[in-house]
């Protein structure tokens, strides 16, 4: 500004000087000519400045003189700061979205009129809402469940509600309404489907375990009352005592299986894990099965030497014995049982038990590993199985990254296979 003022003073003085020495008209013409050039230069710089501002890139600024150099420098500095702040804001927004995506909760921000302000990606999936398409729309146009509408309109802050049939996939979602500021509210939503399923399974488990324990206890109680109240002969008394012993063993087996399941669920699969030669393990079980079966079945063992898997001996022994014992229990006397421990063509260790027992219908197979699940058959209760054997096997199999394959046909027989992943060795 100071330079422009000096320029105008010098231009005026030059005009007066020329007018005094020559002619006033010539001086004025020269002054107008110089002033015109100055105006043209200023107009050029203004247009240049506007063109530069319209350009999307501000990495460099145009060259200028005088006041324009200062303008370009100042504006360029402001633009660079603006770009830097915009970049930081974008990075913060990306980081925020990543952080909210990592959260179990979906976050929905609405204003006091229930119009959508912001939606996180997880909330988009839970509620089938799009931040881009549904911004500014009323949340009640998207979630019309009566319980949710009543909950939102009641304004019950910090209280939760669970809705189990909100979406087509029947997920159970938990909602919590929170204050945000004077004009907005936050809705937290969380998928609690698995939690609800666990609650149902827990109730079913307690009911089933109580029933399984109540049955033998009822038998024992009945016999004890009979012995204490009625005079019976020695033969009948011994028969009752033998039956009570059987029921006591049944309860003992059930409690041991429950404790083993609980231990497996809490244990770390990596802890005590090492390479186990299951060929030797199956050899041990072949002797045990012979002692228990006492030639009631034709049991054949096909054991390949030095078959190794990653695991713990106790858990693997429990899984293998459960499959062998089930075959002994559910196969009629004189039936055939084949036990194999081999390396497959894919290089995987496979332990399998095949029998020619009653077989299992297809619709039961997926449920066999559920706790206390039994296929309805005349011999299932008489065989005194706890109903937890395959649950234990499945829990062990999952611990070591193996898979349990069940093949069965009614009146033909069944085959249960545990397929282990190849052992990964450190180079």
Q: Which of 67-81, 118-132, 244-258, 289-303 has the lowest mean pLDDT?
A: 67-81
Instruction: Determine the Cα angle at 89 with ends 84 and 90, to 5°.
Output: 100
- pLDDT above 70 covers a percentage of the chain that reads 79
The reply to whether 323 and 421 lie within a common domain is yes
Q: How many CB atoms lie within 10 A of CB 365?
A: 14
Claim to verify: residue 260 and residue 273 sit in the same structural domain? no
User: Looking at residues 236-260, what average pLDDT do you find?
Assistant: 84
What is the average pLDDT across 314-326?
91
Q: Is residue 78 part of a domain?
A: no
What's the pTM value of the predicted model, to 2 decimals?
0.55
Mind listing the pLDDT tens digit for each residue in 59-99? Answer: 666 676 666 777 777 777 777 787 777 777 777 667 766 76
Highest mean pLDDT among 64-68, 126-130, 250-254, 408-412: 408-412
How many structural domains are present in the chain?
3
Among 191, 215, 237, residue at a domain's last position: 191
Where residue 35 falls among pLDDT bands split at 50, 70, 90?
Answer: low
**% of the chain surpassing 90 pLDDT:** 17
Same domain as 274, residue 253: no
Residues contacting 1, CB < 8 A, separation 6+: 67
Is the CB of residue 299 less than 8 Å from the CB of residue 366? no
The CATH number linked to 211 is 1.10.287.130
Q: What is residue 263's predicted lDDT score, i.e. its pLDDT?
A: 80
The answer to whether residue 12 sits within a structural domain is no
CATH number for the domain harbouring residue 376:
3.30.565.10
Is 4 domain-assigned?
no
Decide if 95 is inside a domain: no
Q: 257 lies in which domain range?
A: 201-266
The reply to whether 183 and 253 lie within a common domain is no
Residues 178 and 306 in one domain: no
**Model confidence pLDDT, tens digit, residues 366-418:** 888 887 777 765 444 444 567 788 888 988 888 888 999 999 999 899 999 99
Q: Do the domain assignments include residue 89? A: no
322, HSE (Cβ side, Cα atoms, 13 Å): 27
The pLDDT, as a whole number, for residue 20 is 58
137 lies in the same domain as 233: no
Residues 405, 286: one domain? yes
Q: pLDDT-derived band of residue 3, with 50, 70 and 90 as boundaries?
A: low
Same-domain pairing of 254 and 378: no
Tell me if 423 is assigned to some domain.
Answer: yes
Note the pLDDT tens digit of each residue in 5-22: 565 566 566 665 665 566
- In the listed set 249, 266, 283, which residue is the last one of a domain according to the structure? 266
Domain boundary among 242, 266, 290: 266
Residues 97-114, mean pLDDT to the nearest whole number: 80
Number of residues that make up the chain: 427
**147/175 same-domain check:** yes
Residues 293 and 424 in one domain: yes
319 part of a folded domain:
yes
- The answer to whether residue 29 is domain-embedded is no
The CATH number linked to 186 is: 3.30.450.20
279 and 426 share a domain? Answer: yes
Burial class (CB in 10 A: 0-12, 13-18, 19+), 311: buried
Do 146 and 180 belong together in one domain?
Answer: yes
Task: Supply the pLDDT for residue 382.
Answer: 46
Read off the tokens for 171.
């997920």
Residue 316 pLDDT grade (very low, low, confident, very high; cuts 50, 70, 90): very high
């Amino acid at each position: 500004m100071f330079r422009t003022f000096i320029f105008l003073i010098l231009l005026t003085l030059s005009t007066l000087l020329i007018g005094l020495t020559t002619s006033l008209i010539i001086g004025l013409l020269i002054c107008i000519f110089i002033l015109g050039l100055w105006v043209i230069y200023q107009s050029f710089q203004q247009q240049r400045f506007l063109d530069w501002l319209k350009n999307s890139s501000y990495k460099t600024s145009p060259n200028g003189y005088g006041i324009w150099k200062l303008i370009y420098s100042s504006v360029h500095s402001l633009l660079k700061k603006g770009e830097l702040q915009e970049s930081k804001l974008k990075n913060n927004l990306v980081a925020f979205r990543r952080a909210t995506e990592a959260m179990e909760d979906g976050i929905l921000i609405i204003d006091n009129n229930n119009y959508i302000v912001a939606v996180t990606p997880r909330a988009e999936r839970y509620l089938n809402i799009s931040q881009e398409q549904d911004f500014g729309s009323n949340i009640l146009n998207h979630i019309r469940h009566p319980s949710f509408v009543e909950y939102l309109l009641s304004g019950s802050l910090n209280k939760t509600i669970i809705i189990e049939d909100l979406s087509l996939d029947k997920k159970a979602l938990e909602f919590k309404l929170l204050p945000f500021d004077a004009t907005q509210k936050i809705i937290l939503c969380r998928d609690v489907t698995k939690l609800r399923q666990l609650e149902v399974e827990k109730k079913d488990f307690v009911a089933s375990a109580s029933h399984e324990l109540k049955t033998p206890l009822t038998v024992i109680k009945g016999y004890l009352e009979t012995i204490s109240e009625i005079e019976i002969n020695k033969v009948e008394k011994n028969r009752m005592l033998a039956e009570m012993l059987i029921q006591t063993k049944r309860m003992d087996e059930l409690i041991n299986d429950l404790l083993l399941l609980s231990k497996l669920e809490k244990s770390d699969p990596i802890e005590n894990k090492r390479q186990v030669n299951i060929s030797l393990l199956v050899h041990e079980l072949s002797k045990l099965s012979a002692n228990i079966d006492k030639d009631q079945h034709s049991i054949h063992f096909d054991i390949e030497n030095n078959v190794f898997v990653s695991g713990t001996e106790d858990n693997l022994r429990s899984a293998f014995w459960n499959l062998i014992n089930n075959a002994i229990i559910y196969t009629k006397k004189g039936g055939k049982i084949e036990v194999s421990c081999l390396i497959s063509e894919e290089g995987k260790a496979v332990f399998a038990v095949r029998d020619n027992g009653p077989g299992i219908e297809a619709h039961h197979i997926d449920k066999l590993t559920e706790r206390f699940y039994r296929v309805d058959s005349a011999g299932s209760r008489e065989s005194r199985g706890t109903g937890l054997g395959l649950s234990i096997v499945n829990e062990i199999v999952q611990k070591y990254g193996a898979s349990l394959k069940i093949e069965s046909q009614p009146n033909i027989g069944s085959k249960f296979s545990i397929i282990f992943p190849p052992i990964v060795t450190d180079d």
